[in-house]
């Protein structure tokens, strides 16, 4: 089969590699669509600790079952599938505590290689995080299951409602998914980003205000009557922005740090904000099978309209063009079709 291999930062090679074969419990999926993601872009630009190089590339996908290992009952050959690329081991100390996203093995047993003709889903993913895709969800929409599950993980426990103001820092694909989810809860949403094109998209998705970063302090203050936002979501992964994000939240509010900073990064926060203002600052990483189910139901129920995040479609052989565009800040997510 044809597969995109990220050989070094900036270099994607298309290679003919052997077709994977399903063992007991596995599913072999013929990819219908895969999606580019911010993590892929990071890896393409500067390498990524969780994406070995040279190696298979891409982790957001949907497709059709074309072969299965012994013992798979949930799926038949020909079934359309929506799935994610990881699942917890259910056996480590963290899994026993129910902290499935922090499973000791979840990263080492994940599958990469969605930018290819086929992907092999191992048994632990098939049994926990793979579902039959209904006909009314397109393959492109279904491929949003993974990024949406990440966003659900950070946002779902926060009981955001219609009386809340949410401020999202970063209008990339993840920031925009936060926007969609917060709007689906009825919140007022402010969002900031660098590219006018993305701010336009944010407005068309229901953002109450979308503006460039230099206006953030004034706009958040005025919009909230000087109080500050109830919730702030940091979706850029830059230490300086992590630090400034605590300045936008009201007393007792919550800042969620979604964007991962480079390894070794350090940040400082004003202690008075954490102590006297009782703000909560929390990280969020990956997702649990519960989050994946919630994301699946949101996509199935049409509650989250992800289509506007798709900026174009490229054949697998032209995947390099999609990444060149993303590098220049053009577009949000691209569909890659093998």
Which residues would be at the binding site for Zn ion (CB under 5 A)?
Answer: 37, 39, 88-89, 92, 95, 103, 147
Q: What is the smallest separation between the CB atom of 226 and Zn ion, expressed in angstroms?
A: 37
Q: Which residue matches tokens 């290679």?
A: 15
What are the C-alpha distances in Å from 122 to residues 140, 238, 335? 22, 34, 24
> Based on CB atoms, which residue is closest to Zn ion, 39 or 236?
39
Distance between CA atoms of 40 and 59, rounded to whole angstroms?
Answer: 8
> Based on CB atoms, which residue is closest to Zn ion, 75 or 100?
100
Q: What is the smallest separation between the CB atom of 51 and Zn ion, expressed in angstroms?
A: 11
Q: Using CA atoms in the order 147, 151, 153, 154, what is the torsion angle rounded to 10 degrees?
A: 150
> Based on CB atoms, which residue is closest to Zn ion, 39 or 245?
39
Distance between CA atoms of 66 and 77, rounded to whole angstroms?
Answer: 5
Q: What is the smallest separation between the CB atom of 248 and Zn ion, expressed in angstroms?
A: 26
> Based on CB atoms, which residue is closest to Zn ion, 152 or 187?
152
> Based on CB atoms, which residue is closest to Zn ion, 95 or 190?
95
> Based on CB atoms, which residue is closest to Zn ion, 39 or 254?
39
Q: What is the smallest separation between the CB atom of 234 and Zn ion, expressed in angstroms?
A: 17
Q: What is the smallest separation between the CB atom of 333 and Zn ion, expressed in angstroms?
A: 9
Distance between CA atoms of 101 and 143, rounded to whole angstroms?
Answer: 20
Structure tokens of 91?
A: 């056996």
Mark 50-73 as b/e (b = at least 16 C-beta within 10 Å). Answer: ebeeeebbbbbbbbbbebbbeebe
Q: What is the smallest separation between the CB atom of 105 and Zn ion, expressed in angstroms?
A: 5
Q: What is the smallest separation between the CB atom of 298 and Zn ion, expressed in angstroms?
A: 16
> Based on CB atoms, which residue is closest to Zn ion, 147 or 331?
147
> Based on CB atoms, which residue is closest to Zn ion, 201 or 288?
288
Mark 300-319 as b/e (b = at least 16 C-beta within 10 Å). Answer: beeebebeebbbeebebeeb
CA torsion sign, 135 to 136 to 141 to 142? negative
Q: What is the smallest separation between the CB atom of 144 and Zn ion, expressed in angstroms?
A: 9
Distance between CA atoms of 41 and 47, rounded to whole angstroms?
Answer: 9
Answer yes or no: are the C-beta atoms of 81 and 29 closer than 8 Å.
Answer: yes
What are the C-alpha distances in Å from 241 to residues 192, 205, 257? 12, 24, 10
- Of the candidates 288, 338, 297, 282, the residue with the CA atom closest to the CA atom of residue 97: 288
> Based on CB atoms, which residue is closest to Zn ion, 101 or 224?
101
CA torsion sign, 293 to 295 to 300 to 302? positive
Structure tokens of 302?
A: 């049409």
Answer yes or no: are the C-beta atoms of 141 and 28 closer than 8 Å.
Answer: no
Q: What is the smallest separation between the CB atom of 217 and Zn ion, expressed in angstroms?
A: 30
Omega before 237 cis (within 30°)? Answer: no
């Amino acid at each position: 089969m044809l597969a995109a291999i990220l050989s070094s930062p900036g270099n994607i090679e298309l290679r003919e590699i052997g077709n994977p074969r399903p063992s007991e419990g596995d599913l072999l999926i013929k990819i219908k669509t895969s999606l580019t993601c911010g993590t892929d872009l990071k890896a393409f630009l500067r390498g990524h600790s969780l994406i070995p190089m040279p190696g298979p590339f891409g982790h957001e996908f949907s497709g059709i079952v074309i072969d299965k290992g012994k013992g798979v009952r949930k799926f038949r050959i020909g079934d359309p599938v929506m799935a994610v690329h990881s699942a917890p081991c259910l056996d480590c100390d963290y899994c026993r505590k129910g902290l499935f996203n922090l499973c000791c093995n979840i990263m080492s047993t994940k599958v990469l290689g969605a930018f290819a003709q086929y992907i092999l889903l191992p048994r632990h993913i098939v049994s926990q995080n793979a579902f039959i895709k209904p006909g009314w969800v397109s393959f492109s929409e279904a491929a949003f299951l993974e990024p949406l599950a990440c966003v659900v993980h950070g946002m779902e426990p926060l009981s955001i409602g219609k009386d809340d103001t949410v401020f999202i820092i970063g209008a990339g694909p993840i920031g925009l998914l936060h926007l969609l989810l917060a709007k689906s809860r009825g919140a007022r949403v402010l969002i900031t980003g660098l590219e006018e094109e993305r701010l336009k998209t944010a407005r068309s998705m229901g953002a109450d205000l979308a503006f460039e970063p230099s206006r953030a302090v004034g706009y958040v203050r005025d919009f909230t009557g000087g109080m500050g936002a109830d919730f702030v979501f940091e979706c850029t992964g830059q230490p300086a922005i992590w630090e400034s994000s605590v300045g936008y939240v009201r007393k007792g509010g919550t800042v969620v740090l979604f964007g991962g900073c480079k390894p070794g990064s350090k940040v400082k926060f004003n202690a008075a904000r954490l102590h006297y203002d009782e703000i909560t600052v929390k990280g969020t990483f990956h997702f649990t099978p519960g989050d994946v189910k919630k994301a699946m139901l949101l996509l199935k129920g049409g509650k989250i309209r992800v289509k506007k995040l798709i900026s174009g479609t490229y054949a697998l052989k032209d995947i390099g063009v999609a990444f060149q565009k993303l590098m220049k800040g053009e577009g949000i997510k691209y569909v890659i079709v093998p």
